[in-house]
Structure 1
Amino acid sequence: MPARLFAVVFGVLLTPSFLLGQVGGDRLIARISRDDANGDGKLTEAEFTGPRRLFETLDGDGDGVLVIEEAAARLAKVRSNVAKAIENRSEEMGNQSQREAIRRRLQETRGGARARVEPDHENIRYGDHERHVFDVYLAETEADEPAPCMIWIHGGGFRRGDKSEGGLFARSFTENGIHYVTLNYRLSQHAIAPACFEDCARALQTIRYNADKWNIDKTRIAIGGGSAGAGLSQWIAFTPDRADPLADDPVLRESTRVSGIILLNAQTSYDYRWIQEHVPGEAWKGDGLQQLFGYDVDRLDEISDAKFELIEECSPLNHLTADDPPMMLFYRRSSDPEIAEKNAMDGIHHPIFGTELKKKADQLGVGCEVFSVENENDMRVYNQRWTMAVDFLKRQFESVQ
């Protein structure tokens, strides 16, 4: 393959310019492996010494943990797709330029859902802080007919992350007639809980208030997210409606109720006592939780009653009731408790969180589906999560029409 063509193809496929200089996947994986100081086969973004955009590209589900074996498989698939695209380039050319033909072919091989797209409306403000913004991706629908909407909240341990990460999944929804919104919120270094929870609730109310502007059907809105974003989504969905019909601010008069929930690698409680009881290992000691609520695990006896009340208030599982919407949860990990014992990052994203939520949901008669990865077939299911999520939401939206 000519070097220049390889660079063009690789650049189109993976987007980040820093990948253009990588000649072989083996060297790239070797470099990533060197960052794995404890040899557990996983890297958090803090451990990763490469560019952030590379981490995001290789982190398949955006949960903030890079599994080196999966990253190698992803890179191998990328290289295979590049080869296939070049083999078929002659039939793609037509009247297009070589670059445009290859771009289109590569987008097909990698799947449109993983191609980052630009929002139709960017950085719409919902508050005063610099992170009080969201992006709107409009669905392909009839202009005069309001369409349902999916709101996505990014993860990152409440300390990092950005709404742009959700752009990777936008097409899965917009190409199926569902508007899509991704939002930012204050991180814990800006303000501890309940700031981020309140931010996301107000963002939802702002979206509803402006529904006519973007042709959104405000009666058919779903919410979801990955990791931290999954917890924020649950909290909004499970807590009582925040609409205040007497509020001076018209935004606050809008409802926070939703039609369905999609969650990736979700925590369902942020109470370290609950986590310590249900999840093996040291996930309960997580720095993210300490910073979110402002406590020190080495000084637990100093936590006030008010702080415990806040932790309990922000733990979604405590608020689930029979009138809450159905949900679908996906976990990239096995349900084997031993993985939580061995690695705290696996623990804080463990399917135990989901199965405990399902126990309560089943008792209340709330729809709750939980998927984990126990074998190759389960991984194939996980890789179809966006198709499954869209089908699930369509059923929920139809039920409220």
Structure 2
Amino acid sequence: MTTRFAIAIFGTLVLPIMLLAQSGTDRFITRMKNDDINGDGKLTRSEFTGPQRLFDQLDEDGDGVLLLSDVAAQKLKNLRAIAGDQSGPAIGSADRQRMMETIQSRAANLRQGDAAMRGGQRERRDPDHRDVRYGEHERHVLDVYLAKTENNEPAPCMIWIHGGGFRRGDKSEGSLFARPFVENGIHYVTLNYRLSQHAIAPACFHDCAHAVQFLRQNAEKWNIDKSRIAIGGGSAGAGLAQWIAYSPDRADPTAADPMLRQSTRVSAVVLLNAQTSYDFRWIKKHIPGDAWMGDGLQQLFGYTIEDTDKIEDEQFRTIQECSPITHLSEDDPPSVFYYRRSKDPEIAMQNAMDGIHHPFFGLELKKRADELGVPCEVFTVETTKDRLFYNRRWDHAVAFLKKHFEMD
């Protein structure tokens, strides 16, 4: 087969796929832009008009928000993978079958979405106990996913707190991450908390602490080893998890309610795209760009960015009290941070959403943790190898927990 003829066949096979993929990508991006009614460059679950399953697949870190720039880049990368590099050496007849198999495989990846770019295939698992009440508010509910244990021995537990800017999100999002934990002998719990439209800070922080106490109070019922409980979350949930992990134990031995006598201390912390401070002054100093102006923080603490000079001392004390980095001390548990972005400062300046999830948050906390001798790891995405690691972060997280839970 001549070189020209081989390339012609290759073009004949690939071109329709490329055109179809390009057309589908354009339509998809256009639909996403149309969904973005307020033009902020991101979509929440309520704004997204496509299938719920598709949203879950595109939502890499499970924070309930899609960045349009990420989704567009993801689709275009798939398209380029199909197109390949046609400027290389000639394709001989012996390679034709392999070429066709490659084209078919890549086309299938386009139809299904690139699983690696979605952080691996994720499958929802139904909880063993759904909507268990831990308080009086309608959002004081949690789901329990039970692991199988040998001889019915108590097993460690991972508590996951959803993100969503303190204004949205639901515990059901955590079902996407349950399987790696329960399949490795770790119970898994997801919880809801009051959002900022229900009550401003510190309400949601106290809610999550009470949920930890509730789990310890009911540990025997679900076969949980109360001495081995870890906590984690994504974005806002990561901040809530850190606050519990780094704050002094909230157990009150004199409380009339036995639940409030339970400890809030945990064994380890697993975090996605975490903020470590909510003080806009701290954020303005350490994070480039406009992240410090985030409206989610304004709503959480009840101020407006135009009137920061009118914030009273009591409000500032609440903001600092709710900032995890304020509480870090030498007796705190080990933490691992996963960020889906590079630590390049320019990333934080692209838009406020990239800034508020920038690795500088975790890296600043790590500086303090290193000074105190508290184990702390921060992973960022700088290379293709880093991206592959991030996409398989749950394997690393499980290994991290098993080490600190002293599981064989």
Q: TM (normalized to structure 1)?
A: 0.82
Between the aligned partners of 2:31 and 2:198, the Cα distance in structure 1 is 33
**Superposition CA RMSD, Å:** 2.8
Higher CA-based Rg: 2
Contact in 2 for aligned 1:262/1:389 (Cα 8 Å): yes
What CA deviation, in whole Å up to 9, does each residue of 1:340-366 have, x standing for no partner? 122111000000001000000000000
**What corresponds to 1:313 in structure 2?**
321
Contact in 2 for aligned 1:58/1:74 (Cα 8 Å): no
Indicate yes or no: 2:183 matched with 1:164: no
Unpaired stretches in structure 1, ≥5 consecutive residues: 1-22, 87-106
TM superposition shift of 1:301: 1.5
The partner residue of 2:339 within 326, 331, 347 is 331
TM superposition shift of 1:208: 0.7
Contact in 2 for aligned 1:112/1:171 (Cα 8 Å): no
**What corresponds to 2:87 in structure 1?**
none
**What corresponds to 2:356 in structure 1?**
348
Q: TM (normalized to structure 2)?
A: 0.80
Q: Which amino acid aligns with 1:65?
A: L
Between the aligned partners of 2:77 and 2:212, the Cα distance in structure 1 is 34
**What corresponds to 1:180 in structure 2?**
188
**What corresponds to 2:28 in structure 1?**
28
What CA deviation, in whole Å up to 9, does each residue of 1:216-235 have, x standing for no partner? 00000000000000000000
Secondary structure at the counterpart of residue 212 of structure 1: coil
Q: Which amino acid aligns with 1:60?
A: E
TM superposition shift of 1:69: 3.5
**What corresponds to 1:196 in structure 2?**
204
* Percent of paired sites with the same residue: 65
**What corresponds to 1:300 in structure 2?**
308
TM superposition shift of 1:139: 0.7
**What corresponds to 2:92 in structure 1?**
none
Between the aligned partners of 2:31 and 2:201, the Cα distance in structure 1 is 37
Contact in 2 for aligned 1:197/1:235 (Cα 8 Å): yes
Call closer, same or farther: CA 1:163–1:70 in 2, change over 3 Å.
farther
Q: Which amino acid aligns with 1:123?
A: D
Between the aligned partners of 1:37 and 1:339, the Cα distance in structure 2 is 24
TM superposition shift of 1:25: 5.5
Secondary structure at the counterpart of residue 269 of structure 1: coil
**What corresponds to 2:129 in structure 1?**
121
Between the aligned partners of 2:122 and 2:278, the Cα distance in structure 1 is 30
Between the aligned partners of 1:111 and 1:284, the Cα distance in structure 2 is 28
Indicate yes or no: 2:284 matched with 1:276: yes
Contact in 2 for aligned 1:127/1:133 (Cα 8 Å): yes
Between the aligned partners of 1:178 and 1:69, the Cα distance in structure 2 is 36
**What corresponds to 1:151 in structure 2?**
159
The partner residue of 2:142 within 131, 134, 155 is 134
Q: Which amino acid aligns with 2:62?
A: G
TM superposition shift of 1:32: 2.1
Contact in 1 for aligned 2:119/2:392 (Cα 8 Å): no
Between the aligned partners of 1:39 and 1:312, the Cα distance in structure 2 is 32
**What corresponds to 1:45 in structure 2?**
44
TM superposition shift of 1:248: 0.6
Between the aligned partners of 1:194 and 1:48, the Cα distance in structure 2 is 28
Q: Which amino acid aligns with 1:59?
A: D
What CA deviation, in whole Å up to 9, does each residue of 1:139-185 have, x standing for no partner? 12225200000000000000000000000000010000000000000
**What corresponds to 1:387 in structure 2?**
395
Between the aligned partners of 2:120 and 2:57, the Cα distance in structure 1 is 15
Call closer, same or farther: CA 1:308–1:52 in 2, change over 3 Å.
farther
Between the aligned partners of 1:223 and 1:200, the Cα distance in structure 2 is 10
Q: Which amino acid aligns with 1:247?
A: A
Contact in 2 for aligned 1:59/1:71 (Cα 8 Å): no
Between the aligned partners of 1:197 and 1:33, the Cα distance in structure 2 is 34
TM superposition shift of 1:113: 6.4
Between the aligned partners of 1:245 and 1:327, the Cα distance in structure 2 is 28
Greater mean deviation of Cα atoms: 123-132 or 332-341: 332-341
What CA deviation, in whole Å up to 9, does each residue of 1:44-99 have, x standing for no partner? 4289542472433311112323322454279889x969949x9xxxxxxxxxxxxx
Between the aligned partners of 1:130 and 1:73, the Cα distance in structure 2 is 42
Indicate yes or no: 2:59 matched with 1:56: no
Contact in 2 for aligned 1:192/1:291 (Cα 8 Å): yes
Unpaired stretches in structure 2, ≥5 consecutive residues: 1-22, 82-103
Indicate yes or no: 2:238 matched with 1:233: no
